[in-house]
Amino acid sequence: MREKKRLEDALASDAELARRSEDIHAYFDLAREGENVEADLRREMDGLRAKIDALETETLLSGPNDRLNAIVTIHPGAGGTESQDWADMLMRMYTRWAERKGFETVVYDYQPGEEAGLKSATFAVNGPYAYGLLTSEIGVHRLVRISPFDQAKRRHTSFASVYVSPEIDETIDVVIKPEDLRVDTYRSSGKGGQHVNTTDSAVRITHIPTGLVASCQNERSQHKNRERAMSMLRSKLYELEMERKREATKQIEDSKLDIDFGSQIRSYVLQPYRMIKDHRTKTEIGDVDRVLDGDLQPLMRAYLLARRDEKK
């Protein structure tokens, strides 16, 4: 079904490009006849340019798992409430990005902070190329701002880490021995908990040999939460094995750095000036609010282009 959808989308894209090209030619003909079509022509050309950019981005996503859905995990760094609030801001940024793309987000686990923000969050982003696009976000994100939690209004630096794994399907075999698992149940809480604080329906599964943990609390039944957690664990184990292979060939992405100074992939500066800078691609964006509201396309595209150039 996934391959059928991909082919249907490719045919639809070809048809849209042909239609837009014909419309632009028609506007040029009208302009030669003296019609004032500048605004319409500019709109059509901008739309065609955006479509071509989107198709080019898809050509950059040729990895074996790039087409898959993504599972995103966010953890705050040291710094208490400041970092926890920053982690929550990142989660909002990614959910808004997903909305812009027409993707679905499903919260699997959300642990709220004591005062604000979150201690950890895991959610799925379901849509074509979700994993391939979100690989650009793996790593440590740094925020510089005047703290809303500091009565002295001092500038603070906060860190949070983002980790992304592909949501693998049943066609990929991942062997998990029952004796390697520790299963804990607890009461649901925070976002995603439907039976909040009434039953021990939430499930946390620990893979003892690797220390990987998968939690889910958004379903009503413990059985469904266990199924979701096992699915996430399979994805994490698969990504761990892929990461080991990349490390062996010196192609591993730097996604396991300490959540601290010098390890960030991107800085979001709100004070004393406003600027977002990706330290891998040197891309800088002055419209901070637009990015935090989910417009990540320029940053993702720059990362994918840089990754392609590195492989040449």
**Is 289 strand, coil or helix?**
helix
Examine the pLDDT at 144 and tell me if it is beyond 90. yes
Label residue 191 by pLDDT band (50, 70, 90). Answer: low
The Cα–Cα gap between 35 and 26 comes to 11
pLDDT for 194 equals 45
Whole-number pLDDT of residue 16: 82
* Residue 113 vs residues 1, 154, 223: alpha-carbon distances, Å: 40, 21, 27
Q: Which residue has the higher pLDDT, 249 or 220?
A: 220
| Residue pointed to by tokens 């808004």 | 96
What CA–CA distance (Å, rounded) separates 108 from 124? 7
pLDDT digits (tens, 9 = 90+) for 239-278: 887 777 666 544 434 444 455 555 799 999 998 899 999 9
Distances (CA, A) of 195 to 106, 185, 198, 204: 16, 13, 6, 16
What are the C-alpha distances in Å from 290 to residues 85, 97, 270?
19, 10, 13
- What digits encode the pLDDT tens for the residues 54-113? 777 778 887 888 988 999 999 999 778 999 999 999 999 999 999 999 999 999 999 998
What is the model's pLDDT at position 49? 82
Please calculate the CA angle 177-178-180 and round it to the nearest 5 degrees: 70
Give the model's pLDDT for residue 104.
96
Q: Evaluate whether 254 touches 275 at the Cβ level (below 8 Å).
A: no
Query: How confident is the model at residue 118, as a pLDDT?
Result: 95
Q: What is the mean pLDDT of residues 6-20?
A: 78
For residue 199, pLDDT beyond 90: no
Per-residue pLDDT tens over the stretch 270-300: 988 999 999 999 999 999 999 999 999 999 9
> Cα–Cα distance between 225 and 222 in angstroms, integer?
5
Q: What pLDDT, on a 0 to 100 scale, did the predictor assign at position 249?
A: 44
* pLDDT mean over 47-53: 81
pLDDT of residue 26: 87
| pLDDT score at 88 | 97
Q: Which two tokens stand for residue 229?
A: 């957690």
Selection from 145-159, 179-193, 232-246 with the highest mean pLDDT:
145-159
Mean pLDDT, the chain, integer? 84
Residues in the chain: 312
